[in-house]
Chain A
Amino acid sequence: MADTVTPHGQEPIRFETHPSRYKHWKLAVDGAVARLSMDIDEDGGLRPGYPLKLNSYDLGVDIELADAIQRLRFEHPAVKTLVVQSGKDRVFCSGANIYMLGMSTHPFKVNFCKYTNETRLGLEELSAEGGVKTLCAVNGPCAGGGYELALACDEIYLSDDGSSAVSLPEVPLLAVLPGTGGLTRLVDKRKVRRDLADVFCTLAEGIRGPRAAQWNLVDKVVPRSKFVATVDAHVQTLVAQSTRVSDWEGLVLEPLGATYRSDGADYRHVTLQIDQAAHVARITVRAPTTDTPTGATALREQGNALWALRAFRELDDALLNLRFNHETIGLLLLETEGDPAKVLSSDAAMFASRDDGFVHEVLLFQRRVLKRLDQSARSIFAFVREGSCFVGSLFELSLAADRTYHRDDPDAESPATVQLSALNGGAFLMSNGLSRLQTRFLHDPERPAKLLAECSIYDARAAEKVGLVTLAPDAIDWDDEVRLAIEERASISPDALTGMEASLRYAGPETLETKIFGRLSAWQNWIFTRPNSTGPRGALTMYGQPERPEFDWRRT
């Protein structure tokens, strides 16, 4: 049965798109410079009921943005600088559409914020790891999510025309928080003084002109008549500063051609299977069927068919499908299938060519997909059993899981084993800046290097002993153990589990990323459900209504 409606009765959201189908952005590439112009189609919202006025956005706009950034990485290696700008005359971007937020369910709001955060972090990674400099050219009012998009760029230029301003009006106007890391980036990234940030974040109309630069809310304020020329000149400086490796042909990303079913989706290397009644989903990732050739040239030639790229693109799509179209699925079971040697062959080839421009981008992409998995507000269990291939890059799935069950069955024809590859050593850093192995063994910082050096094959008991898996039930207990674990998990409050898992997953240091997601799932989640914002008289509910909000004045 084709998947035409979600279990919640809405048309499912799809995450694949293409510049030829963009409604809201224009991507123009000219040599080393790319320009992304936001020109939002008012009537092009993902759902009916909220015109996207004044360049305000919804999830559909951000899906296009994420696609554009992804294509810049793979299809346009010559690009060394990205300019984010408005395609409209008198407005840059007025942020997430307030009426869209007002109409959305709580889970959607949070998932929307999470996705837009992932996109903005991807923009920052494009600069930090991809070497593409980013400049936001703000010509017009730039409010809320609009300013948060600007904050995700390396530099912000603001036109000084008497009306262009940057602002975060969420607190004074809507009684919620900026949902895309705005508060954190203000003080942590741009290092705006916290007292000035306090003034800024309570001033709905924002700050314009020279003061915006004095407070470091933007990098430069330029008179309107000189704005375009100044931006253009600076773009050339940024091109010269870029460290991007551009000596490779771009790869045009092909559509995945997935088959979506009402209870899942089928891809070449990935299957998503939903059990709606049990609130459980199963994602199976299959190993490559052949060895991966070595050498950058051979890997580039594989192109769209390269397993490391293709399988992770499919996994990414499956995770997003699960998040947005299957809200009530609380438990995600991760499985793998295939020949572990083929996965290790892929890992070895990728690791050997990691400095190649194209391979570098694929590794970064895998890293982002694994982060997306970490960020998924679902309980995650991994099952290692006969026929699985939790090794190297696929063992990261197990490390990302809240628990791993490894079937202890020495009598099986080929008992399940796990194994590390060089890629587990730091190719796939988590949001906390550590590898998943390092995060796993915070109590024994020497152990990751030791395990990587040993390069052993671990059966269930060995894996349990060195701490690579959680539990190793034997063949007799396995079915009961697994059934009970799933049923037990599915019975616990989803809210409490989300909070608990998010707290436990990010042991170790705080980074900008962990702060942003932590504060999103704690403060913003809480504020979104409080009467002061979304109650019948809350500010978000009352926005645009003739009546004014009423607040419960008790501080929490």
Chain B
Amino acid sequence: MSSIATNEKIPNNVDLTSDKRLQRALEEWQPRFVDWWKEMGPEGFQEDQIYLRTAVSVSPDGWAHFDYVKMPDYRWGIFLTDPIKDRTIGFGDHYGKPVWQQIPGEHRNALRRLIVTQGDTEPASVEQQRLLGLTCPSLYDLRNLFQVNVEEGRHLWAMVYLLHTYFGRDGREEADGLLDRRSGADDKPRILGAFNEPCQDWLSFFMFTYFTDRDGKYQLLALSESSFDPLARTTRFMLTEEAHHMFVGETGVLRVLDRTCELMAQDPNQDARAQGGIDLPTIQRYLNRWYSVSLDLFGGEVSSNAANFFAGGLKGRAKEDRYEDHIALDQTMTLTMVKDGRLVDEAVPMRNAMNEVLRGEYIEDSQRGVDKWNRLLAERGVNFALTLPSSRFHRQSGIYAGIHFDPAGKIITEAEFNAHKNEWLPSPEDEAYVKSLMTKPVFEPGKMANWIAPPKHGIKGRPIEFEYVKRSE
């Protein structure tokens, strides 16, 4: 028995102890992962005891095991949801045939690319957020940040498991590559642009976990329909964890809004900034930025890759069984294109529009949280509503990239865009102000920074004053 790849150290339901190939791969990769975590994981908290949830099995009581642990000792595990008996392919040209337990050669490269692209986002987000702990608004939030971070680490493990088990030497090299790239690095940047932007403040973190992690949710939903059964089962389990990240984002923004309303009520001019809070227009601008960046992650509106992935049965639609036609060959989708400076509707073959289908679902889902936030504002008697900008606004990839739109989606000139840029997107002054609120961490149990309200409940029935992070000094 090897010293590293034990069931004790690596909780799993993939029969690790009898899988020689996986053991061999993990023997080399696991120490490199820990080195990466120490170098690029949360800065300044590696020796602290964190009250974290660890998945130790897929059973209902096993996936949420809570205890104090030092992050480098966290037991990153490998879990797949239990197989569905006689599962058949749910979409595309192979519809109705048995799902694959091994990768068909024909789809090997495409699947590897999908898995590597998904896998690359997981360590990237840990890197983007590595300095946030130093300015945490409370121990509760600090712990949530670390929970998100260790789970992104586990999602990396989940993708690495697939690479190690099904892709041979190439897979091992790609798994190493996932630890070699660095968010924002000049030489070895992460694959997707949005994951090379640093996440420098907590408002951005909440927006990221609400909007960008929600992209992750939809990518995982689409991959969980895959004909490649191990990928489908892996991503299904990841979805249970992803839900917590979005909870952190949704409640985080909600608590910021709550506090802002409170501070506005205290101020003679209703000025939240005067009271050391974050004003609503600034929150809207942060929302605009992170939402538009996240929309880019879905890929081109018209995409031959998306068509190939769907046709080949590699990546489906979110909750494919809600659709009636799983072949999607005779359908079209109407997209708003830009032709000669005007918006025109054009029908695109449905398969080529699959990225847009997924983006559409995402937009609907994103709106739900915004509605909740607006209900809070209404309850507090504040006459302001947050809105999602048009999906054409501020896009860096796809058919709207390189063209300027206002938040309502109307085409405008570059000059017009620049004239209003600071009303629509965080200005350097906004960023400096938000950062100025977050210069020091709040480590006293139960205390909150001035710009955020306390949560309604603690974690796992613990009180809000609970010491979620035990500092080592």
Binding site for B on A (CB under 8 A): 160-163, 172, 203-205, 223-226, 543-548
Contact = CB atoms under 8 A, between A and B. Distances in A.
Contact of B349 (A163, A545, A548): A545
Nearest to A224: B187
A298 to B, nearest CB: 54
Contacts of B329: 546-547
13 contacts: A162-B181, A162-B191, A203-B109, A204-B109, A223-B188, A543-B304, A544-B304, A545-B304, A546-B307, A546-B311, A546-B352, A547-B93, A547-B311
B350 A546 contact: yes
A161 B352 contact: no
Contacts of B349: 545-546
B189 interface: yes
B311 A163 contact: no
A374 B186 CA distance: 49
Given A543-B304, A544-B307, A225 B187 contact: yes
A547 B329 CA distance: 7
Contacts of A203: 109
A interface, over-half SS = loop
Interface string B319-358: 0000000001100000000000000000001111000000
Contacts of A163: 189, 191
Nearest to B186: A225
Contacts of B312: 548
A271 to B, nearest CB: 43
Nearest to B181: A162
Contacts of B307: 544-546
List 4 tightest A-B contacts by C-beta distance, closest first.
Answer: A546-B351, A544-B304, A546-B349, A223-B187
B311 A161 contact: no
Contacts of A172: 109
Contact of A205 (B113, B188, B328): B113
B450 to A, nearest CB: 41
B168 interface: no
Given A161-B189, A162-B188, A548 B304 contact: no
A293 to B, nearest CB: 56
A376 to B, nearest CB: 36
Nearest to A172: B109
A1 to B, nearest CB: 33
Given A162-B181, A205-B109, A548 B308 contact: yes
Contacts of A225: 186-187
Nearest to A204: B109
A203 B170 CA distance: 12
B109 A161 contact: no
Given A223-B188, A544-B307, 17 more contacts: A162-B181, A163-B191, A203-B109, A205-B109, A223-B187, A224-B186, A224-B188, A225-B186, A225-B187, A545-B304, A545-B349, A545-B352, A546-B351, A547-B93, A547-B329, A547-B351, A548-B311
B44 interface: no
Contact of B188 (A161, A544, A546, A547): A161
A546 B328 contact: yes
B409 interface: no
B98 interface: no
B458 interface: no
B287 to A, nearest CB: 27
B386 to A, nearest CB: 33
Nearest to B112: A205
Contacts of A548: 93, 308, 311-312
Interface string B289-321: 000000000000000100110111000000000
